Amino acid sequence: MNPLLLRPVVFLLILLGSAAAPGQDAAVVKKIAEEVGAATIKGDFAKVIDHTYPPLVQFLGGRQKAIETAENAVKQMKEQGFSIEVFRVGPPGEFISEGGQTFVVIPTTVEMKGPALRVIGKSYLLGISPDGKSWTFADGAGLDNKDQRDKLLPKLPAKLKLPEKEKPQVIKDQ
């Protein structure tokens, strides 16, 4: 085969190969984030905490204490008549690697049902991975405080843009 004809084929294979990796990463991280969402709805907080960024788990007092904290928060929510009905995960954003870690913002939508109303909140999960295959997460709602965020997530890349907090939508039942 003519080497000049082979060059575009090789270029195309390299281009396709490099384009496939981010898509696979996006599918992997989205699937894990969806599993965390499903575990949240089911009340499987051991699974949620096992997928939480380890320094956050330590900040909460360790695995068992973090599980108890999550269970108590949901118990209080239920006592007030609220339940989480939907946990939707959107497409992951740009993957940014720095300091041996890869970061990605994954948009989320949580719908809660309460007494005579529904609440729809948009937020995000911050995915953190040392290898692009195993992912842990930090909930965007807990990353509002910059000082606390800097203590718990000291290696956030400067070019990583975290979404602004959005006010939840409250829909009163008719």
Say how many domains are in the chain.
Answer: 1
DSSP one-letter string for 77-141: HHHTT-EEEEEEE------EEETTEEEEEEEEEEEEEETTEEEEEEEEEEEEESSSSS-EEEEGG
What the block records as the tokens of 95 is: 């993957």
Predicted TM-score (pTM) of the model is 0.82
* Helix (H) / strand (E) containing 73: helix 63-79
Nearest 5 degrees, angle CA 31-CA 33-CA 34?
A: 65
**Concatenated DSSP letters of 12-23:** HHHHHHHHHHHH
Cα–Cα dist 72/23, whole Å: 37
Question: What are the pLDDT digits (tens) for 4-48?
Answer: 333 333 322 233 333 333 455 899 999 999 999 999 999 999 999
* CATH classification of the domain holding 112: 3.10.450.100
For 144-163, what is each residue's pLDDT tens digit? 888 888 888 867 898 999 99
Residue 116 structural domain: 3-172
